[in-house]
Amino acid sequence: MPRRARIALPNVPIHLIQRGNNRQPCFFANEDYRRYLDWLAECASKTGCQIHAYVLMTNHVHLLLSSDRAGAGGALMKLLGQRYVQYVNRAYQRSGTLWEGRFRSCPVQEESYLLGCQRYIELNPVRASMVTHPADYRWSSYRANAQGEADPLVQPHPLYAALGSDAATRQTAYRELFRYELEPGMADEIRRATNGNFALGGERFAAQVAEMIGRRVVPGQSGRPRKLVATQSGELLLG
């Protein structure tokens, strides 16, 4: 069965996840996390991506990003992945693949889902029982978004900026979101959309994306494809 082409649209945020091969670790020491974040910032700048949220887990990575260029996320992950794998193989005297094939991703509806997706990402260490509060985990964007900790990697999305008229107000409002669990079923919905390369959003958003790219973007029977523009990496580009 052919791989589903990724959905890559300009100015539409995407949530992506990349796992270590066979769920094995991809970070082995604090220096690995630091280097990955430094290179992520560098590669994001080179490819025109804005990182709104992230978490580096032991064996996988979550990112929430956007760009005004379709396909910028794929370019970012290719550039970053090559650099990081070379570093790991050299540092730990290993060879072969580090990542589990292609990263998985989904477009995210801004109005109703973007901040929920940010919470999902930054709550990963809590769900994994690594910490009791997201502020206790150092390798995520939570401290920047919720506490104002300096992090040159994080560029707030306009919906985050709309939480308040100044930084302190926005951070307070953002922390308030974490007093409550994710809405029932949202975590499963995010996983299903990301793993299946479906649209994460309401019916209207899904219909709009499907119309733009010419194929279904929700689970179900395949529809007849329309004209698409695909890259060699398997991304569908529009615009």
Domain boundaries, the chain: 6-232
Nearest to 21 by CA among 122, 106, 86, 102: 102
Contact (Cβ atoms closer than 8 angstroms) between residue 115 and residue 160: yes
pLDDT at residue 3, as a whole number: 60
Give pLDDT tens digits along the chain (239 positions). 456 678 889 999 999 999 999 889 999 999 999 999 999 999 999 999 999 999 999 999 999 999 999 999 999 999 999 999 999 999 999 988 899 888 999 999 998 899 999 999 999 999 999 999 999 999 999 999 999 999 999 999 999 999 999 999 999 999 999 998 888 899 999 999 999 999 999 999 999 999 888 888 888 644 444 444 445 555 544 44
pLDDT at residue 220, as a whole number: 67
Can you list the positions of beta strands (E) in 44-87? 50-56, 60-66
pLDDT at residue 4, as a whole number: 67
User: Which residues lie across from 15 on neighbouring strands?
Assistant: 64, 106
What is the pTM assigned to this prediction? Answer: 0.89
pLDDT at residue 104, as a whole number: 94
Contact (Cβ atoms closer than 8 angstroms) between residue 200 and residue 145: no
Provide the 3-class DSSP secondary structure of residue 88: helix
Cα–Cα distance for residue pair 4/234, rounded to 1 Å: 8
* The two structure tokens encoding residue 239: 């615009």
Nearest to 142 by CA among 116, 108, 171: 171
pLDDT at residue 236, as a whole number: 46
Topology (CATH level 3) of domain 6-232: Alpha-Beta Plaits (3.30.70)
Cα–Cα distance for residue pair 47/83, rounded to 1 Å: 14
pLDDT at residue 87, as a whole number: 96
159 CB contacts (<8 Å, ≥6 apart)?
110, 111, 114, 115
pLDDT at residue 181, as a whole number: 84
pLDDT at residue 1, as a whole number: 42
Contacts of 24-29 with C-beta under 8 Å, sequence gap 24+, read: 24/59, 25/58, 25/59, 26/58, 26/59, 26/60, 26/61, 26/88, 26/98, 26/99, 27/56, 27/58, 27/59, 28/88, 28/92
* The two structure tokens encoding residue 179: 């007093």
